[in-house]
Amino acid sequence: AQSVTQLDSQVPVFEEAPVELRCNYSSSVSVYLFWYVQYPNQGLQLLLKYLSGSTLVKGINGFEAEFNKSQTSFHLRKPSVHISDTAEYFCAVSEGSSYKLIFGSGTRLLVRP
Amino acid sequence: NAGVTQTPKFRILKIGQSMTLQCAQDMNHNYMYWYRQDPGMGLKLIYYSVGAGITDKGEVPNGYNVSRSTTEDFPLRLELAAPSQTSVYFCASSGRDRGHGYTFGSGTRLTVV
């Protein structure tokens, strides 16, 4: 069955340091992959997505992610984080022709000054 | 351009009471979804709809009902509220192009006491 694993429930990091948020998925067919960000007391906003083509995708606010088919991973990275990046980040996958998104459990990014 | 509108934003219910969470979108999206978000658990799909008059169960449908009489509206009904239904509820919608991902509402925080 399709599933998404975000191994880190919380990632503390100092401002201006690099960060990587990990996401692994299980699927035997083609997938679309998404990262969403949720700021406190708000809904989810699309950060970036992988549909096909180049495995490195860039999103808003300086984030990027790399699709690795052999490792079934879609890790999110930012070279230098800001205090304003403090939020919860969700990885999501849709499989085959399905319109349903399956979400990971989320990773809380805590940026400290 | 309102996107996805959810009402109310907050609600406290007593055990056994019923209520309807409202969701409306103005993007002419065919697909609509209801998720619940619990701490550390990510988002779980309750119900979804692929068009007016068509609904189907998601991962956690027990205790909920939905209807889709129009393209714009997708209300979620809670019958006989229980403490286990204390959660944050998100409505989302998507169009025919799966690659665009979902547009989320700002959520309804429900507490059952």
Question: What CATH number has the domain bearing residue A79?
Answer: 2.60.40.10
pLDDT grade for A1, boundaries at 50, 70 and 90: low
The burial of A5, by beta-carbon neighbours within 10 Å (0-12 exposed, 13-18 middle, 19 or more buried), is given as middle
* B45 in Cβ contact with B60 (< 8 Å): yes
In a domain, B112, yes or no: no
In a domain, B92, yes or no: yes
- The beta-carbon neighbor of B90 closest among A43, A51, A104 is A43
Q: Which residues in chain A have their CB less than 8 angstroms from residue B42's CB?
A: 4, 6, 90, 103-106
Q: How many domains does chain A have?
A: 1
What percent of chain A stands above pLDDT 70? 99
In a domain, B38, yes or no: yes
In a domain, B111, yes or no: no
pLDDT grade for A2, boundaries at 50, 70 and 90: confident
- Show the domain range for B41: 4-97
Q: How far apart are CA A33 and CA A90, in angstroms?
A: 11
The predicted model gives B56-60 an average pLDDT of 94
In a domain, B30, yes or no: yes
Q: How many domains does chain B have?
A: 1
Q: Which residue has the higher pLDDT, B46 or B42?
A: B46
Query: Is residue B84 pLDDT above 70, yes or no?
Result: yes
In a domain, B68, yes or no: yes
* B90 in Cβ contact with B107 (< 8 Å): yes
- Show the domain range for A15: 3-112
Count of CB contacts below 8 A, A vs B? 52
Mean pLDDT of chain B: 94
Query: Is residue A41 pLDDT above 90, yes or no?
Result: no
**CATH number, position B66:** 2.60.40.10
| Cα-Cα-Cα-Cα dihedral sign, residues A92, B99, A45, B106 | negative
Task: Using an 8 Å CB-CB cutoff, list residues of chain A that contact chain B.
Answer: 4, 6, 9, 32, 34, 36, 42-46, 49, 51, 90, 94, 97, 99-101, 103-106
Q: Which residues in chain B have their CB less than 8 angstroms from residue A106's CB?
A: 40, 42
Predicted local distance difference test score (pLDDT) of residue B40 = 79
Residue A22 CB contacts under 8 Å (≥ 6 apart), including other chains: A6, A7, A8, A73, A75, A107
**Residue pLDDT, tens place only, A86-104:** 999 999 999 878 888 999 9
Predicted local distance difference test score (pLDDT) of residue A42 = 87
Query: Is residue B61 pLDDT above 80, yes or no?
Result: yes
Q: Which of A39-43, A63-67, A96-100 has the lowest mean pLDDT?
A: A96-100
